Chains A and B, each alone.
Chain A
Amino acid sequence: MASLIGSYSLGFGLFFSVFIIFFSVRNLRDTEILDKKIVSFTFSQFFFVVISFLGLIISFINSDFSNETVFNHSHTTKPLFYKISGTWGNHEGSLLLWLLVLTLFISIFLISSNKQPKRYRIFTLLFQQIIIIGFFIFLIKTSSPFNYIFPTPNEGLGLNPILQDPALAIHPPVLYLGYVGSSIIFSSALAAMVTSYVTKEWAKHIKKWVLASWVFLTLGILLGSIWAYYELGWGGFWFWDPVENVSLMPWFALTTLLHCILVLEKKKTLTSWAMILSIATFALSMSGTFLVRSGILNSVHTFANDPERGLFILIFLFTLIFLSIFIFIFFHSEKEKIENNFFWLSKETSILINNWFMMYFLSVVLIGTIYPIFLEVITTNKISVGPPFYNKLILPFLIPFLLAMAIGPNLNWIKSDLKDKFYMILFLIISFLLSALIIKQFNISFLINTILVSSAFFLFFSTVREFFVKKFKNLSQNIAHFGFSLLILSILFNSMFSNEVITNLKIGETFKTEKFTINFENIDQEDERNFKAIIGKFNVQYMNGSSDILNPELRIYNQPNIITSEADIKTNLLTDKFMTMNYVQNQEYFNVRYQVKPFMIWIWISVILISFGGFLSFFKKRYEI
């Protein structure tokens, strides 16, 4: 029943697009004010998508297995929380969520933009409708969440156990808020070009959307990363997996856009940058969807692969890209002269420099992700691009990037000089000495690591100083930049000083290293509602006398029948101790993996700080010096 209502609501929702487009086009010519009907139609469309989404959620809660999506992804023994999160834990449901957010955002846009010119608002709505219609058709035609199966099965196939995790339950919605937010930026940028409204006012108005999308995208990526760390049991937080990369690319573009908008808001320059980046952010989000959903890439993200879906998104994506190129070339004109506008030592120059670096990082990730596809199509060679590629190409360029990031905010707009900048040299020397001292303790290559760490320290000290000098002025930017320096420091220390032991142990056996001994004491069994747990008890004793008890788990899920391994992680401010145990076929022993990972928690904290900075900036009236 709920499915039926949901299914019809979708049709109604699509129907409203016709009305909206009709009245919008009519409204373009007459009167100066926006036709009230358009707003109500937009709301009605949103309403029907909400009904449809609720229909799917109710089907999931009631375990209505006559619905194919529910049958494929749910099971009666699942806890309620995961029944609900199962709604968007699959291809069909997650697309419905996309659509929900799309219609929600355009409704919010219409309310919040009432001070903007009418033509600009209508054009934004029109472009957004193109996207909405595309998603409606995609959903209804290739991936309907409301397919009916008869006879009704008694039991569903279950949600993949590795998706049954709190962080992952909210990861897709948060990420989509970021992705879809970029669609508003995209439509609005196209509309601004068509109506020649690429101005400071536009920048001020769209900045809120940029910030909101950016905060959500950042948090969404963080949640995915936390999930990978706690659930996948590989002991890492970023794997340069193609699907991770496709979320990182819009992030680079959006971060760059954010800084461009700040400049644009200050003085009317970098307009082409802002336009291209607005288009690129959304195009990259869409390409991400294409790459993930079409099965063109191999990845840990298990979506049902269907070339027909891939083809649809591909055509849709390139239609949007060509439309934007067309609009950019015919409507956008760069009026200001760049040569006169930039003094070499000024805030905007340093922003521009870092934009170029961001574009470089973006290209590295882009090439690493899609080059294998190109190569395979052209030469039928299969290659896989892994962490060494990214590390080699990105790490060295982080150094000037971090330096510019530390110096830039201390410069003035338009023109600056080097007076009173003595403290910077001091910071640089301190950072270098400090890093050299730390790196020397460890047996790793000295030069590159020292320079990397010291540039991160340099940013760290510079931002800390700003907290004292500028106090609450510009707090948001400062928190975000401080968070970034903390992030880079934590990642660097984490990768340099991590320790790992992999061994096979039977119950009662002990494994010794120079620094600690691992004692496998016993195992316990527990029966949970939808899985059986085998819990190992390990006692790790360190040379200094302290010890930890770690209880990694094996979970044997009943539906579907999958064994997952749950890491046990002891977290404190300085290090994480991470242990997983794996079942070995027909053997008495277990495969045990023990890792000591310094500063893990600081990676999460610093990303939260970064997004908190963005969040604060949301409440600020104007960007200050």
Chain B
Amino acid sequence: MKSKLFTLILVLTFLITFVIFFKGLKSSNIYTPNTILEKKIPSFELKSFENNSIIITEKIFKDNEYYFVNIWASWCIPCKEEHKFLMELKKNGKIKLIGFNYKDNFKNASSFLKDLGNPYDIVVSDKDGTRSIEWGAYGVPESFLVYQSKIIKRFIGPINNENLSEIQKIIK
């Protein structure tokens, strides 16, 4: 009798532990950036890449215009891959590209742009990466399509041909 009760309690304890761990797995407690779409873009105040002048959100983003915010860095290999698509996107002319230079140094970043071409209308430098996190970035590269001061679409990782045509469809 006593041993049956003991068994029961033992098995129950482990079952409960299992369920808790199982649930814990699903609500992973790693820091997850905010991913809600259609939210207002976070405001920021950053130094311009070229001349260190301060650039604030309100100055860049105008309503009724599309913006493509791209987080990149010269040390990031996938960024090189996606670069040609950014150049392609720039040709479209209906969209403004804003580059967030993420945790980078000026020399490497400017030679990156010199070698591969500069698709950006504005480049701001996000030296410590905090502004990018406020945008909800997981890492580099990552891009946001902005319209009327709202993020309407985000792209985690390098954009590809498909993404490009999708963007072009939206802004048409």
Interface residues of chain A, those whose CB is within 8 Å of chain B, are: 153, 155, 157, 290, 294-298, 305, 307, 310-311, 314, 318, 321-322, 325, 329, 373-374, 376-378, 382, 558-561, 585-586
Contacts and interface: CB of A to CB of B under 8 A. Distances in A.
Given A325-B10, A325-B11, A561-B103, A376 B24 contact: yes
A376 B127 CA distance: 34
Contacts of B14: 318, 321-322, 325
Given A295-B30, A322-B11, A290 B24 contact: no
Given A305-B30, A325-B7, A329-B3, A373 B21 contact: yes
Interface string B61-80: 00000000000010101000
Contact of B29 (A290, A321, A376, A586): A376
Nearest to B28: A295
A308 to B, nearest CB: 9
A329 B29 contact: no
A325 B3 CA distance: 12
B28 A296 contact: yes
Given A560-B75, A585-B128, A586-B127, A377 B27 contact: yes
Contacts of B27: 376-377
Contacts of A374: 20
A373 B24 contact: yes
A227 B49 CA distance: 39
Contacts of A157: 77
Interface string B104-127: 000000000000000000000001
A322 B127 CA distance: 52
Contacts of B30: 295, 298, 305
Contacts of A559: 75
Nearest to B108: A561
Contacts of A155: 77
B103 to A, nearest CB: 7
B75 A307 contact: no
Closest 7 CB pairs of A and B: A561-B75, A377-B23, A373-B24, A310-B25, A318-B18, A296-B24, A377-B24
Nearest to A586: B127
Contacts of B77: 153, 155, 157
B26 interface: yes
Given A318-B18, A329-B3, A305 B24 contact: no
A322 B13 CA distance: 11
Contact of B25 (A296, A558, A586): A296
A297 B24 CA distance: 9
A149 to B, nearest CB: 13
A307 B28 contact: yes
Contacts of B24: 296, 373, 376-377
Interface in B13-48: 14, 18, 20-30
A296 B29 contact: yes
A586 B20 CA distance: 46
13 contacts: A153-B77, A298-B29, A305-B28, A307-B26, A310-B25, A311-B22, A314-B22, A374-B20, A377-B24, A377-B27, A558-B75, A559-B75, A561-B103
B18 A294 contact: no
Contacts of A377: 20, 23-24, 27
Given A321-B14, A382-B29, A296 B21 contact: yes
Contacts of B11: 322, 325
A305 B11 CA distance: 29
A297 B21 CA distance: 11
A354 to B, nearest CB: 24
A151 to B, nearest CB: 10
B105 to A, nearest CB: 9
B20 A373 contact: yes
A318 B20 CA distance: 12
Nearest to A585: B128
Contacts of B26: 307
A585 B127 contact: yes
A568 to B, nearest CB: 25
A46 B26 CA distance: 36
A307 B25 contact: yes
Contacts of B7: 325, 329
Given A297-B29, A559-B75, 19 more contacts: A295-B28, A296-B24, A296-B28, A296-B29, A298-B29, A307-B25, A307-B26, A314-B18, A314-B25, A318-B18, A373-B20, A376-B29, A377-B23, A377-B24, A558-B75, A561-B73, A561-B75, A561-B103, A585-B127
Nearest to A309: B25
Contacts of A321: 14
A153 B81 CA distance: 11
Q: Looking at B18, B21, B73, B75, which has the most chain A CB atoms within 10 Å of its CB? A: B21
A296 B3 CA distance: 34
A305 B21 CA distance: 15
B47 to A, nearest CB: 10
A559 B11 CA distance: 49
The residue among B23, B73, B128 with the most chain A CB atoms within 10 A of its own CB is B23
Contacts of B128: 585
A375 B76 CA distance: 39
Nearest to A325: B10
B13 to A, nearest CB: 10
Most buried by B among A296, A314, A374: A296
A314 B11 CA distance: 16
Contacts of B3: 329
A294 B127 CA distance: 31
Nearest to A380: B27
A297 B27 CA distance: 11
A318 B14 CA distance: 8
Q: Which of B11, B28, B30, B103 has the most CB of A within 10 A?
A: B28
A594 B123 CA distance: 39
A441 B151 CA distance: 63
A574 to B, nearest CB: 40
Nearest to B18: A318
B64 to A, nearest CB: 36
Interface in B124-138: 127-128
A374 B128 CA distance: 34
Nearest to A296: B24
A296 B24 CA distance: 6
A298 B27 CA distance: 13
Nearest to B103: A561
A561 B21 CA distance: 35
A556 to B, nearest CB: 9
Contacts of A585: 127-128
Contacts of A382: 29
Nearest to B10: A325
A498 to B, nearest CB: 31
Contacts of B10: 325
A444 to B, nearest CB: 36
A305 B31 CA distance: 12
